[in-house]
Amino acid sequence: MHEEVSSLRSEFISRALATQNHDELEALRIEFLGRNGRFTALLKSLKDIEPDKRRQMGELLNQTKKILEETLATQEKETTQKEEKKFDDTIPGIQPPIGHLHLVTQAIDEISRVFMDIGFVRRRYPEIETDFYAFEGLNMPSTHAARDEWETFFVEPNFLLTPHTSNGQVREMERGALPIRMINISKTYRRQSDISHVPMFHQFEGLVVDQNIHITHLKGTLDYFAKNFFGESRKTRLRPYNFRFTEPSFEIDITCGVCNGTGKLPSGNSCKLCKAGWLELGGAGMVHPNVLKAGKIDPTKYSGFAFGWGVERTYMMKSGIQIPDIRMLYSTDLRFLRQF
Amino acid sequence: MDVLLTDSLLREFLDTKANPQKLAECLSLCGPSIEKITKEGPETVYHIEVTTNRVDAASAYGIAKEAVAILPQFGLTAKLVKPALSPSASKKELDIAITIDPKLCERFTAVKLTDIEVSDSPQFIKNRLTAMGQRPLNNVIDITNYAMFALGIPMHAFDYDKLGKTIIVREAKKHEKFVTLDDKSHTAEGGEVVFDNGAGEIIDLPGVMGTKNSMVTSATKSILLVLEHIDHHKVRSASLKHEERTNAAILNEKNPDPNEIDSALQFALFLFEKYAKGHVASKVFNWYPKPRTEHTIRVNKDEIDTMLGVSLSKKDISNILESLQFKTKWNEAAITVVVPTSRVQDVTIPEDIIEEIARIYGYFRLPSVIPEGFVNEARNKQFDFEMKIKRLLAGWGGNEVYTLSLVSKAMAGEKAMKLKNPLGGDGEYMRTELTASLVEATKVNKHESLPFHLFEISNVYIPQNKKLPVEETHLAGIFVNTDYRHAKGVIEALFEVLNIKKIEPKLMRLGKNFVYEYRVEDLLSAHAEHTKYRAIPLFPPQIEDFTLLTNDTKIGEVISVIKSTHEHISAVQFIGNFENKASFRVTYQDPNKTLTDSEVSKIRAEILKNLQSTLDVVEA
């Protein structure tokens, strides 16, 4: 039996050293040390040996087993090292298909989340509208220039494509639930097409109506938005302006992201997108008492503020996204869509 | 309205040490916005955006008035310099009879000048006009333009000798013809305000542009200088209809104060005497039946404080208003404000007064406060739902597009609403479906040889009889270069994740492409927000593969026949097909026990029997 043990040991060691990988090594382990392994069979036969030789034989088998296990462990370690050396972690991966959300969707999502943070509720109001909600109820008399067919699209029989999201103001007030903190994001339409205008675009309209609403609240809300949407490095300013549906009215400007507020491009040409480094974000103001009245709200008890800004313009003013022509946003070219 | 103004002309009326940059910065923050400053030859030019309600500020004098209110708020001194006026007048009545329709004209003034020497203007006038975008012509025409840039009141000089003894202010009749100064022939649409020389001939399109038949030339000796106030709506529509967007029309359509005509006329006379050697040869004809008057507005201090969110002192408030030439008087906690006639169009309610106080005080000085409180109501789930769909589809490789709602007739679908004033034929209708737009959207991607998927969520517009259309939000998409099973799999996966069971995932074949379109509302109402818990089976299933001779039988039908055979068939999976055979994997499961082989083979026999009897499909 001694010879049998030593020949088994020799065979095991020489075969172990010849293995090339873990699988071969594992097969070898099973052949010798598995439940029905050749070495295991010797161990099992120990009980059949005469008692006086059993002890000596037992010691030999234990020693041998230790040697086999050590050989296995050493070889295991070497195989791992060999395999690690061979493994190429620089080979490119196989990606799942990557799709893209449109920039306008990304903008709307970001914008609405900023306002929802401070208690605004998202709404959606009609794109095809009556004169009352788009103009008359917003304190725009029938002679106002915006009502000329030169800027607004009209639809049979007597409707129009809303040129601004402000059509949602009186509709929101008519719901009769106060206070109001709404953000209405929708498609809007104007009869124009050039580098900074598309006939269809998107606006977001904020409306707050409550008791004791001040200009300071409008400033605070828009500051919060600018800080969170654009980042702290972009500067904003409030300028006096004139809108029929707010009094007082403001224009909010932000430093241009294309020319970094300088008005000049690196080429030396002047920036086509902005005016001397400032971009108009959009209008804002305190809700005109006539608009509150149109929405059946008592202007002596309630006041409010509103703002309506272009989604595309606002997003383009954000750092990093420098699209020279706003019409490109409505391209369906995958080479464009896949960039964002 | 964009106004160009040279620094030199502004400083004729404004005495300040503030440099152009500082002036621009201060004015932009508190008044008319100065968008940029450029150099034009020797002149420094401000590019100013004056809002349409502030035509009183659309001139050198108007900007100077703003500056004297604004600059002191920044610690800079500024004084207004009044324009030089000529009081000259002759005792002779004007020898032209003027008839005016008061519905068309609010004020009409005219004066005759003789001994005019037509020549070049002095260099400074030429430089300033050029810098403000006005080509210098001769001293007579240049003076009228220069006075307009200075004081904001347009005026017109006629060659007196080309006029008759009558001027009638009337509406044009349809088809009447006239030629304007720029040599353009026009045919009246009817309703434009015109001057008629008494012989039925049109001699002016007042407020917009003069006509050729009465214009000043180098041969002119006498002129009739006219400053009138035509109904501003009429001016705007005539200017737009005839495509004559002159500086005069742009000012006149904004309803400037007719009271300002007096100083504008005297300033022009001063210039004519000085630079064209003219002599005033008539009394000023002045027809002004209803002069505009100031009005008063009362505002409570607490209204001011509430709007601003900060409390200003009474003295600060009256100082600001008086710097703008409003007269004020405090009476306890209320201030009575007299609004000058140049502002009565624009300042009509207490809020307008508060705006004047707030802007001059400076919006930039007000603190920022986020309003408190929340709206206590449930959120509209559709917004999140749409976003979820978009994220899922993009996550599976879809590319979201936004296509225009305005489409051609061919793309609009049935009974679409038509635009009355489209920009062109390819945007004449409001679409009633998205599919056609998505098909169009693939056309720019012809170069793509790999599979792609475009999708969109947008409204379509379903017309209603005489009522506003129903705006339905649709989800639609198109798969290109994609095999049917991969395309359909995306929609199946979408419905599975959204828990939509009542709607079939369905795609339509369009040539080699596959399209789908759903109403988002339908998807929203069919989806279950949460899945119900189902107990994990305690007993192992039995799984078996079938290969069937399906020939032309639809795979979906085979699956549904197998499935409906027995309640213990928990799943049927299509493995694949080859030639006329298809393989399926069937899972047998009884929730209450482990099925025995003999029970399974009984079900199996039933399946094969059913397939043969209903679809004539047998095992391969």
The string of pLDDT tens digits covering residues A279-328 is: 888 899 999 999 999 999 999 999 999 999 999 888 887 755 667 788 88
Nearest to A273 by CA among A335, A201, A327: A327
In chain B, pLDDT over 90 holds for what percent of residues? Answer: 92
Q: Closest Cα of chain B to A335: distance in Å? A: 8
pLDDT at B587: 96
Q: What pLDDT, in 10s, does the model give residues B9-61? A: 999 999 999 999 999 999 999 999 998 899 999 999 999 999 989 999 999 99
* Predicted local distance difference test score (pLDDT) of residue A282: 85
pLDDT, tens digit, 9 for 90 and up, residues B249-286? 999 999 999 999 999 999 999 999 999 999 999 999 99
**Ramachandran assignment for B221, one of left (phi > 0), alpha (psi -120 to 50 degrees), beta (any other):** alpha
Q: What percent of chain A has pLDDT over 90?
A: 51
| pLDDT reading at B287 higher than 80 | yes
Task: Give me B394's structure tokens.
Answer: 């993009």
Who contacts B143 (Cβ-Cβ below 8 Å, separation ≥6)? B121, B125, B157, B268, B271, B272, B275, B276
**For testing the chain B interface, which of A103, A155, A259, A300 should be mutated: the one with the most B CBs within 10 Å?**
A155
Structure tokens at B152: 């904001």
pLDDT band at A149 (very low <50, low <70, confident <90, very high): low
Q: Which two tokens stand for residue A52?
A: 């006086």
What's the pLDDT at A328? 87
pLDDT value at residue B609:
95
Nearest to B371 among A155, A221, A288 (CB): A221
pLDDT for B620 beyond 60: yes
Amino acid at B100: I
To the nearest 10°, the Cα dihedral for B253, B254, B255, B259?
Answer: -120
B502-to-B96, B176, B505, B524, B534 alpha-carbon distances in Å: 86, 68, 10, 11, 19
Mutation target to probe the B interface, by most B beta carbons within 10 A, among A108, A188, A191, A215 is: A215
Query: Is residue B391's pLDDT more than 90?
Result: yes
Contact B380 A101 (CB under 8 A): no
pLDDT band for B374, please (50, 70, 90 cuts). Answer: confident
Nearest chain B Cα distance for residue A96, angstroms: 8
Q: Which of B333-347, B527-541, B580-594 has the lowest mean pLDDT?
A: B527-541
Interchain contact, B368 vs A156, CB within 8 Å:
no
Per-residue pLDDT band for B88 (boundaries 50, 70, 90) equals confident
B398 chain-A contacts, CB cut-off 8 A: 99
The tokens for A215 are 């200009």
Interface contact A159-B29, CB threshold 8 A? no
Say how far apart CA B594 and CA A272 lie, in whole Å: 75
Q: Please report the pLDDT score of residue B293 as a whole number.
A: 97
Task: Give alpha helix (H) positions in chain A.
Answer: 2-18, 22-33, 38-45, 51-86, 103-117, 131-134, 167-174, 215-230, 289-294, 311-316, 334-337
pLDDT value, residue A319: 57
- The answer to whether the Cβ–Cβ distance between B236 and A145 falls below 8 Å is yes
Average pLDDT, chain A: 89
Q: Nearest chain A Cα to B351, which residue?
A: A247
Query: What is the model's pLDDT at position B531?
Result: 81
> Per-residue pLDDT averaged across B58-86, rounded?
96
pLDDT-wise least confident of A44-48, B400-404, B564-568: A44-48
Structure tokens at B607: 């399946």
Residue A146 is predicted with a pLDDT of 57
More confident residue, A51 or B71: B71
- Please tell me the predicted confidence (pLDDT) of residue A148: 64
A251, A255, A259, A263: CA torsion to nearest 10: 60
CB-based contact A219 B369, cutoff 8 Å: yes
3-state DSSP helix/strand/coil % of chain A, to nearest 5 = 45, 20, 35
Residue type, A145: A
Which carries the bigger pLDDT value, residue B53 or residue B518?
Answer: B518
To the nearest 10°, report the CA torsion of A131, A135, A139, A145.
Answer: -120
Window 184-203 of A, Cβ < 8 Å to B = 187, 189, 191, 193, 199-200
Residue B436 pLDDT grade (very low, low, confident, very high; cuts 50, 70, 90): very high
Whole-number pLDDT of residue A260: 79
Residue contact B402–A237, C-beta within 8 A = no
Q: Is residue A143 within 8 angstroms of chain B, CB to CB?
A: yes
Amino acid B312: pLDDT = 95
pLDDT value, residue B533: 86
From CA B608, how far away is CA B64, in angstroms rounded? Answer: 97
Residue A208: count other Cβ atoms within 10 Å of its Cβ: 23
Going by C-alpha positions, the residue among B467, B469, B479, B472 that lies closest to residue B441 is: B479
Residue B116, pLDDT score: 96
Beta-ladder partners of B480: B452
Residues B202-231, mean pLDDT to the nearest whole number: 96
Contact, B16 vs B77, CB < 8 A? Answer: yes
Phi, psi of A112 (to 5 degrees): -65, -35
Contact state of B420 with A154 under an 8 Å Cβ cutoff? yes
Predicted local distance difference test score (pLDDT) of residue B63: 98
Give A236's pLDDT tier (boundaries 50, 70, 90). Answer: confident
The pLDDT score that the predictor gives to residue B422 is 93
Burial B394-433 (b: 16+ CB within 10 A, else e): bebbbbbbbbbbbbbeebbbeebbebeebeeeebbbbbbb
Task: Say yes or no to pLDDT of A180 above 90.
Answer: yes
Mean pLDDT computed over every residue of chain B? 95
Q: Inform me whether the pLDDT recorded for A132 exceeds 80.
A: yes
Q: Which residues contact A158 (CB under 8 A, 6 or more apart)?
A: A130, A131
Q: For position A259, what pLDDT does the model report?
A: 80
CA distances from B453 to A2, A46, A103, B360, B411 (A): 74, 71, 17, 55, 20
Complete domains list, chain A, with CATH: 2-86 (no CATH), 103-337 (3.30.930.10)
A208: Cβ contacts below 8 Å, ≥ 6 apart: A179, A180, A181, A217, A218, A221, A304, A305, A306, B371
User: How many Cα neighbours within 13 Å face the side chain of B288?
Assistant: 18
pLDDT at B66: 97
Burial class (CB in 10 A: 0-12, 13-18, 19+), A35: exposed
Structural domains of chain B in order of their starting residue, each with its CATH number: 2-80 (3.30.56.10), 97-287 (3.50.40.10), 295-363 (3.30.56.10), 381-526 (3.30.930.10), 542-619 (3.30.70.380)
Q: Work out the widest C-alpha separation in chain A, in whole angstroms.
A: 123
Three-class SS state of A138: helix
Confidence of residue A270 (pLDDT cuts 50, 70, 90): confident
- List, in sequence order, every residue forming a beta bridge with A136; answer none if it has no partner: none
Q: What angle do CA B17, B23, B26 make, to 5 degrees?
A: 125
The complex's ipTM works out to: 0.83
Residue type present at position A20: Q
Segment B128-142 mean pLDDT: 96
Chain length of chain A: 340
Q: Which of B375, B376, B428 to mutate to test the interface with A (most CBs of A within 10 A)?
A: B375
Q: Which of B33, B396, B459 sits opposite A127 (nearest CB)?
A: B459
Which pLDDT does position B317 carry in this prediction? 97
Residue A294: which of A134, A163, A181 has the closest Cα? A134
Supply the DSSP string of B33-82, one letter for each residue.
EEEEEEEETTEEEEEEE--TT-GGGSSHHHHHHHHHHHGGGGT--EEE-P
**Burial status of residue B443 (CB atoms within 10 A of its CB: 0-12, 13-18, 19 or more):** exposed
Q: Which of residues 308-327 of A touch B (CB under 8 A)?
A: none
Please report residues of B whose CB lies closer than 8 A to that of A157.
466
